[in-house]
Amino acid sequence: MSLNNFFNPKSVAVVGASNSPEKLGRQILDNIIKGGFKGAIYPINFKEKTIAKLKAYPTLESLPKPVRSSLLVVISIPSACVIPEIQKCAVLGIKNIIIITAGFKESGEAGKALEAEIKDLATQHHLNILGPNCLGLINTWHKLNATFAAADTETGNCAMLSQSGAIGAGALDWLKVKDFNFGYFISLGNKAVLDENAIIEYLAADKKIDLIIAYLEEVADGDKFMSIVSRLAKLKPVAVLKAGTSAAGGKLAMSHTGSLAGSAAAVKAGVERAGAIWLDNLEDMFNLMMIFDKKSWFNTGSPELHVITNAGGVAVLTADEISRQGLPLGKSQDLLGDADATRYELALASCLADKKVNNLLVLLTPQTSTEPLKTAQAIINIKKKYPNKLIMTSFVGGEAVAAPRQLLSENKIATFDYPEEAVRAFRHLISYRSLVKDLRTFKRSENKGKKAVKDGDYLKSLSLLKSYGFAVAKTFAYDAAKIQSYNYPVVLKTVGPDFLHKTDTGGVVVNLQDAVQLQTMAETLARKNASLLRNPGNYLVVQEQAAKFHEIILGFKRDAIFGPLLMVGWGGIYTEVMKDYKVAISDIDMAGAMKLISGLKIFPILNGARGQKKFDVAALAGALVKLGQLANDHPEISELDINPLFVFEKGVAAGDIRVILG
Amino acid sequence: MSLNNFFNPKSVAVVGASNSPEKLGRQILDNIIKGGFKGAIYPINFKEKTIAKLKAYPTLESLPKPVRSSLLVVISIPSACVIPEIQKCAVLGIKNIIIITAGFKESGEAGKALEAEIKDLATQHHLNILGPNCLGLINTWHKLNATFAAADTETGNCAMLSQSGAIGAGALDWLKVKDFNFGYFISLGNKAVLDENAIIEYLAADKKIDLIIAYLEEVADGDKFMSIVSRLAKLKPVAVLKAGTSAAGGKLAMSHTGSLAGSAAAVKAGVERAGAIWLDNLEDMFNLMMIFDKKSWFNTGSPELHVITNAGGVAVLTADEISRQGLPLGKSQDLLGDADATRYELALASCLADKKVNNLLVLLTPQTSTEPLKTAQAIINIKKKYPNKLIMTSFVGGEAVAAPRQLLSENKIATFDYPEEAVRAFRHLISYRSLVKDLRTFKRSENKGKKAVKDGDYLKSLSLLKSYGFAVAKTFAYDAAKIQSYNYPVVLKTVGPDFLHKTDTGGVVVNLQDAVQLQTMAETLARKNASLLRNPGNYLVVQEQAAKFHEIILGFKRDAIFGPLLMVGWGGIYTEVMKDYKVAISDIDMAGAMKLISGLKIFPILNGARGQKKFDVAALAGALVKLGQLANDHPEISELDINPLFVFEKGVAAGDIRVILG
């Protein structure tokens, strides 16, 4: 359903409007009036005749009929009374609703049940509902502030979605002292009906919006998010700040310890797959707002960051940070400590006249001849001549730089207290370009015809790999009658549910040179594990031993939100110790797989560093793509590891497998 | 010579004082007067009778005699006229001088020569000279502002040294809007005579100073710095911001590519060895000033950072950052969005009453019931009850939090725009404690009796190692007559100056199983390298082949400032690829060596991870200590690599060596 009337209602009704100024319903009404909303405003209150000088209506039913289809209803009444109001809306044909009221999913079982009712009503009657438990909606382009937060009324080209009311409130308060404005502010609340995906999809087509920033506590639907954002990201940047990634390091342990692909890793991989900018923290979020301007971000010229300064030391520290962030450093021009505004002006003019200069950071510290305010004005003037070039500033100091910083900010020139902040903000421009370069629209391709895997049997699992075109090291169930037919040396393994960590449990014997050695060892293992081997899932297998390979681990773990998360890393005993692995969403292609693999620390060795032999990286990438397809086709597999995957000079082969269902 | 009179002069003369307000000499004079200096102030000017209502003196000679020993002379005249003034000082027995004037070392050959003269005069006549090319000196405790920068006059317990006038000017301007003050501000300028070491040594004994912050563009004398600071650091934190570390990554390549131990790595190792706090950037420097307070820094209780918040999302983001920084996270208490000041007050009281709580970060975003100003006051009140506990704040927002932030700052409660900044600042407290724990005073122990090494001959170099107690893999010059006596398998190598990268040049053959194989291969190599082997420095050696070892690289490279920089890392083909190495200053002891080694990524493998065998880490640490001593004893060796060092289950042995002199 279109959100057009939701974002741009012709009239607004506030259920719970009141003559008590401390009531949220009244504060919302006041904000709607103060914001200058041009349509009709209807306070709904059973008792009052007028509220805030407006005629009050006793119920939604009593409103004039024609407004209903383009009416937005904001509900701020006790949670127990909310459902009947929604039902009324449904009956009356009112489609667009904001539920401010808290006391739903976040407050226990009873609230959860109420919220489920809201969802049901929305589905039945095609209702657009924002919230519950939210701050509301602001559309500055429509002069609509339907929140209980005081907010600036100026329009802007940034839309902010916030799943936290508190962070939303902080951001709105922050805007008041910054010369930055939102086009839309959407407080998502509990996301019972409208979630970030629905909102972003609407914003995609909205020409007034050039930048979308979302603070999320969880992603509602990973596939939908990746599909919507990967379509949109090339046209307008989407940036995500996700709370709760702190266990990232810890959780992102190895697959076979059961903790890989914790959702922190998955959400980061998913956001990257979508082509969205990953924000590290609040500072990062606000700084991105400061630095974004559409024209310079879509200027696809040289990416170097150039520097003009009156303080050599500050420029050196800036270069340190540019280098630390791995960003392209341009020229650094030191105008010396006695540079006045004229010297800055000349330097700016000649620097920006250079076609290769697209990104410039102007540094200044207040020294004896420095003219901070005049210099700020010079920067503002020249920016007008070069709207497609990014100009950032950092005037380092306090008293002497306060007014010039203010002037720059008022004129939409990004200004930062410290040059390092500017550099970190600039990082997002560079990473955005790299994210959307060759960005494919996400689509999960599932081959629905595949027969579901029934158990994690070792040999069957190897066969499953083969059916996807994987080479597999020759492996047979141990059979004393056939021991003469194997190509020696061989490896003997005990496999099955009780032997998932074979190396640790001594369930693997390598380098068996002939049939006699094999038989002796097979008998020893059979004796040692006699009781476990009574379970037919556990048995002995013989594998012909590979030579001249590199050991890689390949696997996936299914994430509840983003689906199978692929993992490739350095295998063998190094997997855990070196933490050398990368993860990706399962719809990976060859180019993506090559890029992922080339990010491994071990990559130079695979690729033949220092005169060593070169391993078949392309075959490894191919295996990753195949594994992604397998993962998509078999939703019944929750986890799969190939460890080791032997990577040879030509080709690869799976050396071991572990499959977990459920 | 004591700097007591330099920092606390009884009287000050300004050579170059003038009646032209734009002259630096006049600005300095004005600042001295405005600062409220209690002693006599003497403008020196040949023409004027009075300057700034003070009696002017034509020359230094014309000053009343008794003041000279406790007089500070500030010189701000053209550079060509400076030397004669210094000579006058020397003759008159004036010891304490600041040269503001620029145009010396930084301006080319002529200036360099002038600066050398200044140095000579200072040495001859025991003069304390600050500068030239500096901003001057501020001692707020003495009401002395002998700089041309306007500055606050309030006293403080932090001393700042700055090698950049511009950064000093920025910092002084910054102070004006912050409720933070310097005790001393020292602009180091060209450091012709007084450098950071002399100043820090003086500050060590000054009870008014609790924190020393130095912005340095280069360290004057590494050994002196490490010796002074390692004595002082336990008593008062010293923090260093070093510009120009950006090539760190690049330069810190491997020793055998000739680029290890570039000075960026050495200065970081040296600062750490000294027990000083390493600052990453300007933001870091200012934030450290905000967070430092002596009582809470020296509270040695539980190090966890606890959090009180009215915004769950912000607390989660804060926990993310705490975890990302590897800091100890305490409890996080969410007072919920409708928390008023009273709820904060109660929570603060009960949280801080807990003896285990020593570090607290209070978060707030302005929501409907929030009382930011009252909450700030509550924090200020409770801090008075707990002066030994660190309380930081981050009120996230703009307009609504501006006044409370200001109030907190005025009351010396650290307040940050974003919680992440607070967390990054807090990192320094934790790292300081770890730096000074078990900190040994630096002293370079050189055994002066050692005979200097004359060349990098391979077998002699191995003998040098042996003389330091190193085990060395059995190695002999190849001798066809003795091939029956070796223990096979053996390795055959071509060594010498033309074979420094033996693996790359094919100069190593491993796994020779018997005398026939050895002889055949020796003849092949001799033929292949016939022309190079005419140089007697190049020859063939035979080495008995080691088994069951781990390959480590050990080495040092001599840094011009900090002396030999030791390096230990993962050896073999992984050295370059994995960049798994650590560096340290050469006076390392066993504990330090163990700590360094345990920081290697490969350490868990050496230490027997995942049921693998355990290698002799203690012997490896011992080798590092021995190598440090060797490096100290042999200043003629500029670079030495042992690659590989075999680490066995018991003991270690050098497998190869490369020594470079000069």
For A324, B106, B225, the CA distances from B242, given in Å and listed in that order, are 14, 19, 14
Flag whether pLDDT at B236 surpasses 70.
Answer: yes
* Element of type H or E holding A394: strand A390-395
Residues A418, B170: C-beta atoms closer than 8 Å: no
What's the pLDDT score for residue B258?
31
Using CA coordinates, name the residue in chain A closest to B309: A166
Say what the pLDDT of residue B506 is.
61
Q: Are residues B414 and B555 in the same domain?
A: no
Total CB pairs under 8 A between chain A and B: 225
- Nearest CA to CA, how far is B235 from chain A (Å)? 29
Which band of pLDDT confidence, cut at 50, 70 and 90, is reported for residue A255? very low
Structure ipTM: 0.90
Residues contacting residue A557 through CB under 8 Å, at least 6 positions apart: A255, A260, A261, A564, A565, A567, A638, A639
CA distances for A143 relative to A25, A38, B659, angstroms: 18, 7, 76
Angle at CA A572, nearest 5°, toward A567 and A578?
70
Query: Which candidate, A439, A7, A4, places its Cα nearest to that of A228?
Result: A439
Structural tokens at position A346: 């000349």
Q: Residue B13 and residue B78: Cα distance in Å, rounded?
A: 17
Kindly determine whether residue A577 and residue B611, on different chains, have CB atoms separated by under 8 Å.
no
Domain stops at, among A544, A574, A605:
A544
pLDDT per position as a tens digit, B116-143 = 999 999 999 999 999 999 999 999 999 9
Q: What is the least distance, in Å, from the CA of A72 to any CA of chain B?
A: 23
Structure tokens at A360: 């410039």
Tell whether the model's pLDDT for residue B253 goes beyond 80.
no
In angstroms, the CA A170 to CA B591 distance is 48
Q: Which residues of B touch A24 (CB under 8 A)?
A: 368
Q: How far is A193 from chain B (nearest CA, A)?
A: 21
CA B108 to centroid of chain Cα atoms: 28
**A264 lies in a domain?**
no
pLDDT band at A258 (very low <50, low <70, confident <90, very high): very low
Total domains, chain A: 3
Task: Check CB contact under 8 Å for A166 and B283.
Answer: no
Under 8 Å CB-to-CB from A201, ≥6 apart: which residues? A228
- Tokens describing residue B351: 């949280």
Distance CA(A235)–CA(A276), nearest Å, equals 11
**Residue bearing the bigger pLDDT, B66 or A602:** A602
Q: State the pLDDT at residue A253.
A: 27
Residue A379 lies in a domain: yes
Is the pLDDT reported for residue B451 higher than 70?
A: yes
- What's the token pair of residue B11? 């009287």
Are residue A239 and residue A315 in the same domain, yes or no?
Answer: no
Q: Can you list the positions of beta strands (E) in B206-300?
A: 211-216, 238-242, 277-279
As given in the structure block, the two tokens for residue B323 are 């975890």
B544 beta partners? B490
How many percent of chain A have pLDDT more than 70? 96
Most A CBs within 10 A among B152, B396, B420, B643, hence the mutation to make, goes to: B396
Which of B206, B228, B243 is the last residue in one of the domains? B243
Q: For residue A517, what is the domain's CATH number?
A: 3.30.1490.20
Closest CA to A621 of A637, A638, A600: A600
SS (H, E, C) A430-453: HHHHHHHCCCCCCCCCCCCCCCCC
pLDDT category at B618 given cuts 50, 70, 90 is very high
Residue of B nearest to A612 (CA): B573
Other CB atoms closer than 10 Å to residue A595's CB: what's the count? Answer: 15
Tell me what pLDDT residue B578 has.
81
CATH of the domain at A336: 3.40.50.261
B166:A577 CB<8 A: no
Q: How many CB atoms lie within 10 A of CB A454?
A: 9
Q: Which contacts (CB < 8 Å, 24+ apart) does range A194-199 have?
A: A194/A3, A194/A128, A194/A129, A194/A130, A195/A220, A195/A221, A196/A161, A196/A163, A196/A220, A196/A225, A197/A221, A197/A224, A197/A225, A197/A228, A198/A3, A199/A3, A199/A159, A199/A161
Tens digit of each residue's pLDDT (9 = 90 or more) over B191-214: 999 999 999 999 999 999 999 999
Instruction: Name the least confident of A231-240, B11-20, B370-379, B506-515.
Output: B506-515
Whether A326 is covered by a domain: the verdict is yes
Q: How confident is the model at residue B625 (pLDDT cuts 50, 70, 90)?
A: very high
Mean pLDDT of A361-375: 95
Please give the DSSP secondary-structure letter assigned to residue A401.
Answer: H
**Are residue A237 and residue A377 in the same domain, yes or no?**
no
User: What is the amino acid identity at position A321?
Assistant: E
The backbone torsions φ and ψ at residue A312, rounded to the nearest 5 degrees and listed phi first, read -55, -45
Confidence class for position A497, pLDDT limits 50, 70, 90: confident
For the cut 70, the answer to whether the pLDDT of residue A256 exceeds it is no
Residue A490 pLDDT greater than 90, yes or no: yes
Q: Do A499 and A422 fall within a single domain? A: no
pLDDT score, position A248: 31
Res A91 pLDDT > 90: yes
Residue range A309-357, pLDDT digits in tens:
999 889 888 988 998 899 988 988 999 888 999 999 999 999 999 999 9
Does residue B259 have a pLDDT over 50?
no
Q: Which two tokens stand for residue B265?
A: 């790595």
Q: Between B167, B173, B215, which is nearest A398 by CB? A: B173
| Claim to verify: residue A26 and residue A92 sit in the same structural domain | yes
Query: B458-478 pLDDT, tens per residue?
Result: 999 999 999 999 999 999 999
What is the per-residue pLDDT for A405? 96
The most distant pair of C-alpha atoms in chain A lies apart, rounded to whole Å, by 100
Q: Are residues B127 and B10 in the same domain?
A: yes
**Residue B447: what pLDDT?**
79
| Band of residue A247 on the pLDDT scale cut at 50, 70, 90 | low
Report the distance separating Cα A193 and Cα A132, nearest Å. Answer: 9
Q: Which residues of B touch A601 (CB under 8 A)?
A: 577-578
What is the domain-level CATH number for residue B616? 3.30.470.20
Q: Which residue has the higher pLDDT, B524 or A250?
A: B524
- Verify whether the Cβ–Cβ distance B316 to A286 is below 8 Å: no
CB contact (8 A) between residue A577 and residue B601: yes
Judgement on whether residues B60 and B83 belong to the same structural domain of the protein: yes
Inform me whether the pLDDT recorded for B251 exceeds 90: no
List, for residues B87-107, the tens digit of each pLDDT value: 999 999 999 999 999 999 988
A511 Rama sector, left if φ>0, alpha if ψ -120 to 50, beta otherwise: left
* Selection from A250, A598, A515 nearest residue B323 by Cα: A250
Q: Which of A544, A575, A590 is the last residue of a domain?
A: A544
Instruction: Dig out the tokens for A562 from the structure.
Output: 């983003």
Dihedrals φ, ψ of B115, to 5°? -65, -35
C-alpha torsion sign, points A596, A597, A601, A607: negative
Q: What is the mean pLDDT of residues A532-561?
A: 90
A contacts of B245 (beta carbons < 8 Å): 320
What does the pLDDT read at residue A610? 67
| A75: its two tokens | 């509900």
Task: Indicate yes or no: CB of A174 within 8 angstroms of CB of B398.
Answer: yes
Q: Is residue A570 part of a domain?
A: no
Q: What is the dihedral of CA A71, A217, A583, A508, to 10 degrees?
A: -130
> Does the beta-carbon distance from B167 to A313 stay under 8 Å?
yes
Q: How many CB atoms lie within 10 A of CB B590?
A: 12
Residue A330 lies in a domain: yes
Of all helices (H) and strands (E), which one includes residue B638?
Answer: strand B637-647
A320 contacts B243? CB cut-off 8 A:
yes
Between the CA of residue A586 and those of A257, A269, A626, what are the distances in Å? 21, 10, 10
Same domain, yes or no, for A314 and A385? yes
The whole-angstrom separation of Cα A442 and Cα B294 is: 55
The C-alpha atoms of residue A147 and residue A136 are separated, in whole angstroms, by: 4
**Nearest CA to CA, how far is A517 from chain B (Å)?**
23
CATH of the domain at A73: 3.40.50.720
pLDDT of A8 higher than 50? yes
Q: What tens digit of pLDDT does each residue of A119-140 get?
A: 999 999 999 999 999 999 999 9
Amino acid identity, position A364: L
Report which DSSP code applies to B372: H
Is B319 found in the same domain as B202?
no
Question: B506 and B514 in contact (C-beta within 8 Å)?
Answer: no
Q: Where are the beta strands (DSSP E) in A590-657?
A: 637-647, 652-654
Do B340 and B420 share a structural domain? yes
pLDDT grade, residue A391 (50/70/90)? very high
Mean pLDDT of A578-591: 93
Distances (CA, A) of B566 to A239, B225, B569, B642: 44, 18, 10, 11
- Partners of B317 on chain A (C-beta within 8 Å) are 241, 243, 281-282
In a domain, B262, yes or no: no
- Confidence band, pLDDT 50/70/90 cuts, at residue A423: very high
- Tokens 């993992």 found at: A567
Domain limits at A497?
A: 474-544
Strand partners, A475: A543
> Taking CB atoms and an 8 Å cutoff, what residues of chain A touch B606?
none
Task: Return the ∠ at Cα B54 (arms to B48 and B55), rounded to 5°.
Answer: 55
Helix (H) or strand (E) holding A121: helix A109-125
Determine the pLDDT at residue B501.
Answer: 67
CA gap B166, A220 in Å, rounded: 50
Query: Among residues of chain A, what percentage have pLDDT more than 90?
Result: 74
Distance CA B327, CA A182 (A): 35
| Contact assignment for B420 to A148 by CB distance below 8 Å | no
Query: How many other β-carbons are positioned within 10 Å of the β-carbon of residue B208?
Result: 15
Rounded (5°) CA angle B332-B334-B339:
145
Looking at the DSSP bridge assignments, the partners of residue B637 are B661
Q: Which residues of B touch A170 (CB under 8 A)?
A: 311, 314, 365-366, 396-397
Return the amino acid letter for A110: A
In-domain check, residue B466? no
Q: For residue A509, what pLDDT band results from cuts at 50, 70 and 90?
A: confident
Cβ neighbours, 10 Å, residue B96: 27
Query: For residue B574, what pLDDT is reported?
Result: 78
Write out the two tokens for A226: 């990746």
What's the whole-number average pLDDT of chain A? Answer: 91
Q: Which residues of B touch A396 (CB under 8 A)?
A: 167, 170, 174, 282
Domain annotation covers residue B443: no
- Model pTM score: 0.91
Q: How confident is the model at residue B577 (pLDDT cuts 50, 70, 90)?
A: confident
Question: Do A163 and A76 share a structural domain?
Answer: yes
pLDDT of residue B339: 94
Please check the confidence at residue A502 and state whether its pLDDT lies above 70.
Answer: no
Mean pLDDT of A73-89: 96
Query: What is the nearest CA distance from B512 to chain A, expressed in angstroms?
Result: 20
Q: Whole-angstrom Cα distance, residue B323 to residue B317?
A: 10
Residue in B412, B419, B410, B329 with CA at minimum distance from that of residue B365 = B419
A432 and A528 in a single domain? The answer is: no
Phi then psi dihedrals of residue B359, to 5 deg: -135, 125
